[in-house]
Structure 1
C-alpha cells in the first residue's frame, strides 16, 4: 500500500531523524492513511446501497456510555428522567401484567376505595377518547370521520381512582359513538360468560349481584352503569349528581395524563396503518400504568388497609366458561336490566345522603 511505501521510504532515508518521537508520529500517520484507504476501498463493496460509504463506529464506547447514563450505580440520568429518554419494546412482554383485567385482589381494593367515596361496589369509571388520524387513507376518511369532522380512532378505557387503566379497547372508527363502541368492546365479555368475579352486596336492604361503572349521559341505563341525574331536583339528587360527576372525572384525568406524558398520542397520528397505531397506543398505556405503579406512593394516594375493612367483599374468580345457553342469555339480561339500574341509583342517592348527614 501507499502508506507502507511511504513508511519504508522515510525509514531508509538517511536524512530522516530516527528518534522515538519521530517514529511514533510516523506510525500514527501511516495508521490513519491505512484506515482511510480501507474505508475508501470498502465503500464500493459493502453496505446495503452500492457505493455508500461505511462509517466505522465505536460500538463498545457507545455501550459504555449507555450503561453509565442509565444503569450504573452513579448514573447520569435519574429514574424520573429515564422514561423520557429511553423506550423499550414492551407490548409483547408486559401486556399480561399491565393490560390485564382486574383479578380478585384488584377488585377487592377497587370496591373498598369505591366504598370510601360513597359508591358501594363501584369498579371504576368508563369513557371514550378520540385520537385524530392525520394520515388516514382517503378511502377510509368517510368511515373514520365523526362529530369531530376529522378522521379519528376511538379508545375506550376503564380507569380507577389512581388513574390506572384497567380496560383498553382501541381501533374502532371515529364515526361510532360510545354506545356503538360499548356493543363491540370486551368490557362485559367475562361477566356474560360467567368468568368474572362475583360481587354480592346490599344497599338500603336491596340485594345486588354485579358491580358497576360510573359513566356519562350517553351510556345506556344498564345495571352495570351509574350515570348522573340530569337537572336534579331536591338536595338528595343534587348531592348524588355532584358526587357522581366528581368521581367520574377519574377517567377524564386518566386521558389527560396519558396525553400529557406521551406527545405521540396527544398529537394527530402520522402512521398509515392501524396495526402500528394499535401498537403505539398499547405501548403508551403500558408505560402509563408502569409510571402509576412506580409513583403511586409518591402521589400521596391513600393506602387503604384492606385487612381492617369489616365488610371487605369475598371475591372469587370463576375460571370455567358458561356452557349453558340459557345462563349466558340470563347474564346478558342481568347486565342490561334497566329496572335494576333505576333501583340502584335510588339506593345510592339515599346512601350518599345518609353519609352526608353524618359528616
Structure 2
C-alpha cells in the first residue's frame, strides 16, 4: 500500500475511532501508535496470519492485535460504507463502462449497457433438464441482485453448495486473470 493511502486511511479512521490515536498510560509512557495498530490489522487481513504472529513483526501482543483488527474493520465500515461498501447504482455502472472504453475495452459497453436496463443477451442452454434463455454473469457480492448476475454462495452448507461456491470462484478468478493479462 502506498504511504499516502495508508496515512489517509489512518487519518479517516482516527476521526471515527479514538482507539487509533496514540495516548499515554497512567505512568506517562506512550502507548501504541495508530500506525502500529493499523499495520497489525492490515498484516492479519493481508497475509491471513494468526494474531500472535504479528508480535514478531510489530511488537504487539495477541489480544491487542485482535482488538486492533476488530476496531479497524468496524472503523473502515463506519468511515467508508456510504461511499465504497455499497452496491453499484446505474450511474456507477455507466461510469465503469466509460472507464472501460478509455482503457481499451470498447466492446464491453454494448454488452453491459443492456445490464444497466436489467436485461441480458439471449442465450439458450439446458442444465439438469431445465431450459434457460437468458445469459448470466459470475460476480462477487458487490453487484446488484439482478437475475442475470450469479453471486457466490456465502454460506456453504452442504456438499452441493460447497462445490458450487468452489467452482464459481475458480471460474471468476480465471476471468479476472484473463482481463489482467489483456490489460497488461
Superposition TM-score, scaled by structure 1 size: 0.21
Superposition TM-score, scaled by structure 2 size: 0.37
**Greater C-alpha radius of gyration:** 1
Structure with more of its chain in helix, by fraction: 2
Higher relative contact order (CA 8 A, sep 6+): 1
